[in-house]
Amino acid sequence: MPFDSITTYAIIKELNSKLKESKVSKIYMPTKYEVVLHTFDGDKQMLLINAGSSTPRVHFIEDYNASMNEPYGFCMLLRKYLSGAVITDIEGYEFDRIIKIRFESINLLGEYQNLTLTAEIMGRNSNLILIDDESGKIIDSIKHIRPDNPLMREVIPKIDYEYPTKDRLNPLDFNEFVAADNIKSNAGRTLKSALMSTFNGISPIIFSEITSVLDIDNNAGVNELSKEDIENIIKRIREYFSGLDERLKYNLYRKDGNNKDYVCIDISSYEDMEKMTFDTPSKMIDTYYHDIDRLNRLKVVYKDVYNLINRSLAREQHKLELRRKDLEKAEGSEKYNIKGQLLLSNLHLIKKGDKSITVQNFFKEPYEDITISLNPALSPSENANKYFKKYTKLENSKKHLEKLIKDGEENVYFLESQSLYLERAKTYPEVEDIKSVMEELGYIKKKKKKHNLKKVKKLKFTTSDGYEIYVGRNSLDNDYLTRKFAFKTDLWVHTKDIPSSHVIIRTNNGTYSNEALELACKLCVYYSKAKNSSNVPVDYAYIKYVKKPSGMKEGKVIYTNNETVEVTLSEDDIKMIDKLSS
C-alpha cells in the first residue's frame, strides 16, 4: 500500500508516455495539500499530486469536480508560473520516491523559463516544490519547513533546493562492493532488515516478495552469511531489478469486499485475496483511493457543515436536558396549590407576624399535619395568594416547557438525521442538498429561498421477485420519495424514533412479497443510526397513512395504521447490501 519506489518508477514511466509535450491548461487545489493539473495535447489528462501526510501519491485521475476548488496561495502561484507551460520531461531521482516534472514556460517579460515541479512522496515528510532550473532556487512549496526544525531539511522560498538526505543505494544502478559493505555493516540484524537499509525506497512486503522469488531466506542473520553468500545475493538482486520492466503488474488486492493493498508486482502472500489487475498504475491507485478520497475531500471541503451540525446538535441536546430538568421541577406545582387552599381554609388561625403554621392536610388520606412557611410581612390572604401565584406560574411554564421540549426533540432528531446523511454522502451534490436544507432552516446564514421538491437520484433496489425498493439519501430525497414519488398504495418503511432514510416499496396495487418487506426493513436499518444495533424496531405503513403537517421540518412526517417489526442485521446482510449499493 505505501507509495514506494517501484510504484514511483511505474508512475514515472506512465507519465512520460502520456504527458511529454502536453500543455498545462488548468490548475486546481481541492484541498490544502492536493494539486490537480489539467493538461492537453489532443487528449485531456488530469494529474493528481497529493502531498498530504496520510495518502501522498501521484497519478492520473478520471474525474474531478472543479467547483470544489479552494483559492489557496500555492494554487495561485502555480497558475502564475505554470498556466500554459509545456511539460518537457518527467524523471525520478536515484530510485527514490521523488518525481520531477519539468516545464518550459514564458514569464511576464516574454522570456522562456525552465521550471521543475518536484513531488517528494515520503509519508508525513511529503512535499511539492516549485524550482527555478536556472538558479536552482525554490520559488515556493506546498509546505514550508523552517530552519528551526532540526529533524528536517529547510524548505522555504529563495533558498537552493537540496534533495532529501540519501544514505541508501539505487537498486537499478549500484556498486556491488559498496552494497556488500553496507550489508556487512548491519551485523546482528536479519538479512531483510539489512537489505532494506541498503537499498532505496522498497516497502517491506515488496522486499519479502523479492527475496521469496529469489529463494533467499530473508530471516537469516547477516552474521550467518559468508562473503560468497552476500556477493551471490547482491548479484541476484541486480538481476531482479534489471528485469523490473517485465515484472511490472498493477494489482489491487481486495478482501471481504474492501480494498486492502495495491502493488506493482505479483505478491504470492496475497493469494488468498481477490486480485484486480489494471493496465496502468494510475487506474490501480485511483481505484484504491476512490472512496477514501471522496470521504476525505468531502470532510475537508465541507468541514464547516460537519462542525456546524455537531455544534448545533450539542447545543440542542444541552438545551433539551435543561428544559427537561425545569419540567421535572414544574411537575411539583400541585403542592403550592394545596398549600394555598389550606391557608384559605385556616385564615382564622393565622396571626400577623407568624413565620409558619401547622394545619391538617385534608387533601391526603389519611389526614396528616403539614407545616406551611409564611412571610411575616404579608397578611394571611396575601400568603395564600403567594402560593397560588407560584402554582399558576409553574403550570404555565409546564405548557411552555412541554412545547419547547417537543420542538427540541424535533431539532435533535433533524440534526442527527443530517449528521447521518452527511456521513453517508458519496457525492458533492448530496452534501449540497444537505447544506441547502440547513440554509433554509436558518442553521447556515444565507438568504432564504424556497427549495422546490425536484426529481432526485434515488437509490434503487430490485428483489428477485421483481419488486422495486427506493431509498432516500437525505432529507430532500426523503421528502421527494414520500410526498411526490410514492403512490398511495406503496409501502413506506422507517425505523421507529431513530433517524434513518425513508424506504419505499413500489407495491402491486397494495400487495407486496415477504421478501420485499424483509429487504426494505434491512435497507432501512442499514441506512440508519442503528445499523450496528440489535432488535431495531422498524415501522411500515401505506403511504396514504403518512402525512407531513405544514411547518414540519424536511424529511419529518407523522403516520398511523402502522405495523412494527424488529430487525437485526447480520454480517452477511451488511455485506449483501454493501455489494448492492456499490
pLDDT, tens digit (0-9, with 9 covering 90-100), for 369-398: 889 899 988 888 888 999 899 888 888 888
pLDDT for res 259: 84
pLDDT at 498 over 60: yes
pLDDT at 536: 93
8 A C-beta contact, residue 359 and residue 372: yes
459 has a pLDDT exceeding 80: yes
Provide the grid cell at 513: 412479497
Q: Look up cell 517528494; give the residue.
A: 120
Domain range annotation of the chain: 5-141, 176-284, 308-420, 453-581
CB-count exposure of residue 180 (10 Å: 0-12, 13-18, 19+)? middle
SS3 per residue for 15-34 = HHHHHCCCEEEEEECCCCCE
Residue 403 CB: number of other CB atoms within 10 A?
11
Cα four-point dihedral sign 64, 69, 75, 81: positive
**pLDDT value at position 56?**
94
What are the tens digits of pLDDT across the range 360-377? 888 888 888 889 899 988
Rounded (10°) CA dihedral 284, 286, 287, 288: 80
For 487-507, the three-class secondary structure string (H helix, E strand, C coil) is: CCCCEEEEECCCCECCEEEEC
Q: What is the pLDDT of residue 10?
A: 96
pLDDT for the residue numbered 566: 94
142 contacts 52 by C-beta, under 8 angstroms = no
For 271, the grid coordinates are: 493469494
Does domain 308-420 fall into CATH 1.10.287?
yes
In the prediction, which pLDDT does 67 show?
54
Rounded distance between C-alpha atoms, residue 304 and residue 220, angstroms: 54
pLDDT of residue 128: 97
Count of CB atoms within 10 A of residue 67's CB?
9
> Which of the following CATH numbers is that of domain 176-284: 1.10.1060, 1.10.8, 1.10.20, 3.30.420?
1.10.8
- pLDDT category, 448, cuts 50, 70, 90? very low
Using alpha carbons, select from 224, 227, 218, 228 the residue that is nearest to residue 193. 218
Distance separating alpha carbons of residues 240 and 234, to the nearest angstrom: 10
**Can you tell me the distance from the alpha carbon of 4 to that of 241, in angstroms, rounded to the nearest whole number?**
15
Q: What amino acid is encoded at 270 in this protein? A: Y
pLDDT range class, residue 548, cuts 50, 70, 90 = confident
Bridge partners of 118, per DSSP, are 100, 129
Alpha-carbon gap, residue 509 to 3, rounded angstroms: 56
pLDDT digits (tens, 9 = 90+) for 335-356: 888 888 888 888 888 887 888 9
| Model confidence band, residue 78 (pLDDT cutoffs 50, 70, 90) | very high
Domain 5-141 has CATH 2.30.310.10: yes
Single out the residue of 553, 115, 497, 33 nearest to residue 293, CA to CA.
Answer: 33
What pLDDT score does 299 carry?
A: 67
The proportion of the chain whose per-residue pLDDT surpasses 90, expressed as a percent, equals: 44
Angle at CA of residue 69, ends 66 and 71, nearest 5°: 145
Name 111's Cβ contacts closer than 8 Å, sequence gap at least 6.
none
- Whether residue 470 is predicted with pLDDT greater than 90 in this model: the reply is yes
Would you place residue 518 in the very low, low, confident or very high pLDDT band (cuts 50, 70, 90)?
Answer: very high
Checking 559-566 for CB contacts under 8 A at 24+ apart, the result is 559/492, 559/494, 563/539, 564/496, 564/537, 564/538, 564/539, 564/540, 565/521, 565/537, 565/538, 565/540, 566/535, 566/536, 566/537, 566/538
**CA-to-CA distance for 88 and 83, rounded, in angstroms?**
14
Give dist(CA 229, CA 214) in Å, integer.
13
pTM for the whole structure: 0.60
Tens digit of each residue's pLDDT (9 = 90 or more) over 18-43? 999 999 999 999 888 999 999 998 88
What is the mean predicted confidence (pLDDT) over 256-285?
90
**pLDDT per residue over 151-171, tens digit each?**
788 999 999 999 987 788 999
H or E segment to which residue 386 belongs:
helix 380-424
Three-state secondary-structure class, residue 114: strand
Q: What is the chain's mean pLDDT, rounded?
A: 87
The secondary structure of residue 164, as a DSSP letter, is P
